[in-house]
Structure 1
Amino acid sequence: MTDCLFCRIVAGEIPATLVAETDRVIAFRDITPKAPVHVLVVPKTHVANVTEAAAQIPDVLAEMVAVAQQVADAECGGEFRLVFNSGEAAGQSVFHAHAHVMGGKHLAWEDA
């Protein structure tokens, strides 16, 4: 998808600070972090949201969670919040499925 920000990051057209990568998933730092550790985990396949990912690429969704754990193990003692926003009203601004890995401090519910 040529107009998708995350597809362009996956393609290497837009720079990002990569944290982890597999054949099917990339993880990079959020440009507006909400916690000391704030990394986005993104499937390389374009799907609009987590529900589509679960229906169309469930094995990649599971891999996204595994990569999230790897990031958390490396950067915040293995403890983290994993957030998927699905839809504009829920805060999704890029309509390519992605998980927010947040940690590095005690996160109150209000930090979500």
Structure 2
Amino acid sequence: MSTWTAVLLGCALAYLLKVLGHVVPVRWLEGERTARVTSALPIALLAALVAVQTFTNTRGDLTVDARAVAVAVAVVALLLRAPFLVVVVLAALTAALLRLAGMA
């Protein structure tokens, strides 16, 4: 399968999912369980994305490096209620300093 075929199939699938979202009966979306799941889903997806990006290298192997320490610093800063920009800068500085020190 070529790259363009995969891109076009992905576009078609995204469009189909969007159309199906408009076709779903409203009563399916009004339930309490559905509301809880749909409100928690973005949090779970973001957490999974952060975990994958933090603990895998370019080959897909599990690794612990400066990124893991930077995420830990960001979590501590968030728990201390630091502004988001401060959290990002602290995490970036932590990763940069650890990589500079040789903990790539």
| TM-score of the alignment, normalized to the shorter chain, above 0.5 | no
Higher helix share: 2
Alignment TM-score, normalising by the size of structure 1: 0.27
Which structure is larger by alpha-carbon Rg, 1 or 2? 2
